[in-house]
Amino acid sequence: MKHWVRRPLPQREEINVVFFRGVSTDALTRGLLAERRLPLAYGKSEDWSVIMHDTLSWESGDHDLVPYGQLCRRGGELAVFVTEPCVAKAHAPAFEYYRDGQLITHFSFEEPSTYAGASSHGRQGDRT
């Protein structure tokens, strides 16, 4: 069964999209709020769910990266799309995949041949 928020998203450019499973919507929401990131919308299904949140911290207006590994408990998975990052801090649009709190893979959409994570060990472009 799917439960989607049936309203338009606020007019924001800087939104991260997080697909998740094995982590409750409530736990992920509380974790994002603790990191001062406002959840904007969510969708739940029997397997993967999705939550969208502000990239910017409401407290400082900063683009500091969210520690997603801390939000992904044992048995959980997060697939994170950073869509509008902070150019001034050299955060490029990126994809990150976490399992059991560990970063498995990360790559920039600006340089997809350069990646990092457990799955890239020994490959060209490895940054780990």
Contacts within 8 Å (CB) and 24+ apart, 9-12 = 9/40, 9/41, 9/52, 10/40, 12/40, 12/54
Query: Sorting pLDDT into bands at 50, 70 and 90, what band is 27?
Result: very high
Domains of the chain, earliest start first: 13-120 (3.30.70)
Residue type, 58: W
Q: Kindly give the residue spans of alpha helices, DSSP state H, lying in the chain.
A: 25-34, 68-71
Full-model pTM:
0.76
pLDDT of residue 128: 36
Query: Sorting pLDDT into bands at 50, 70 and 90, what band is 116?
Result: low
What is the distance, to the nearest Å, from the Cα of residue 50 to the centroid of all Cα atoms in its chain?
Answer: 10
Render pLDDT for 50-105 as a digit per residue (tens, 0 to 9).
Answer: 999 888 777 766 667 789 999 998 999 999 998 865 555 556 778 999 999 999 99
